[in-house]
Amino acid sequence: MNAPLTLAHYMTLAGLLFLIGVFGALTRRNIIGILMSIELMFNAANINLAAFDRFLHPQGVTGQALALFVMTVAAAEIVVGLALLLAIYRGADTVYAEDFNLLKG
Amino acid sequence: MLEQIVFWSLSALVLLSALGVVLQRNAVHSSLFLGLTLAGVAGIYGSLGADFLFGAQVMVYVSGIAVLVMFVVMLLGRASDLHLRQVNERWTAALLVCAVAAVGLLKVARLHSATSVAGAARPSTREIGRLFLGEWLVPFELISLVLLAALLGAVFFTRTEKA
């Protein structure tokens, strides 16, 4: 616990957060839960970008700027995702992913 | 020493509340845990010296996305959802996928176990502003178009037919 922090600590944290997100996206039935898990994955990637910026390129800010782009795209993604979910809920009356089979014919 | 205390406590907060997001049966509790996770990630940014990212995370994620998700959770769903399974029957396969990916990710992380920090962190807001309005002007303008498209898409998808 007293060892100095290295890039490996932050990468491990981001990796575990990403895997928790993957597990949630694969197993949640509720589609809002899937969207929340996807947000966890975006955040894991952002932690990695900020950590690379701090440890590998301490004189630049490119990693942080890239993380801001990821954040913007994540915000756009969740807004459109939730709007689509509301539209589907109005017709199908369910929030469970396995019931969304409108295109099955 | 202080750094280590901050890192380990924030890591525990982030990972435990992320597990709460994924495993909670009640979607409202999940979304509250999501807010806690995002706030913990903001703290990690702070400990990495990314001050603008810290502010943006608190403004965009904790007070924007988490609240939006909470609204939608309360708008949809019913009380009977609390008695239903919230996890599908293929969770063992998903666990296996995650275990295999964990081995790979931890191997990659171990490559950097000797990379330690060089020098103190500097405030980054000024440099980010210069980068966005100079070298990265085109992507910066494009991302505002993406946001506009998302805004229009959200309005388009949620409007009712009669109105």
pLDDT digits (tens, 9 = 90+) for A70-98: 999 999 999 999 998 888 888 888 888 88
Q: Is the pLDDT score of B163 beyond 60?
A: no
Q: Is the pLDDT score of A105 beyond 70?
A: no
Q: Are B110 and A8 within 8 A, CB to CB?
A: yes
**Reduced to 3 states, what is the DSSP secondary structure of residue B50?**
coil
Instruction: Judge whether B133 lies within some domain.
Output: yes
* Closest CA in chain A for residue B110: A8
A7-94 — its CATH code? Answer: 1.10.287.3510
Q: Out of B60, B86, B102, whose CB is closest to A33?
A: B86
- Chain B residues in contact with A74 by the CB 8 A cut-off are 65
Considering the domain architecture, whether residues B63 and B137 belong to the same structural domain is answered as no
The pLDDT assigned to B65 comes to 92
Could you give the residue ranges of the DSSP H alpha helices within A1-105?
7-27, 31-55, 62-92
Q: Are A64 and B52 within 8 A, CB to CB?
A: yes
pLDDT digits (tens, 9 = 90+) for A3-24: 788 999 999 999 999 999 999 9
Going by pLDDT thresholds of 50, 70 and 90, the confidence category of residue A43 is very high
Instruction: Judge whether B104 lies within some domain.
Output: no
* Closest CA in chain B for residue A25: B22
Q: Which domain holds residue B139?
A: 123-163
The pLDDT assigned to B90 comes to 85
Which phi and psi angles does B116 have, rounded to 5°? Answer: -110, 170
Contact B70, B28 (CB under 8 A): yes
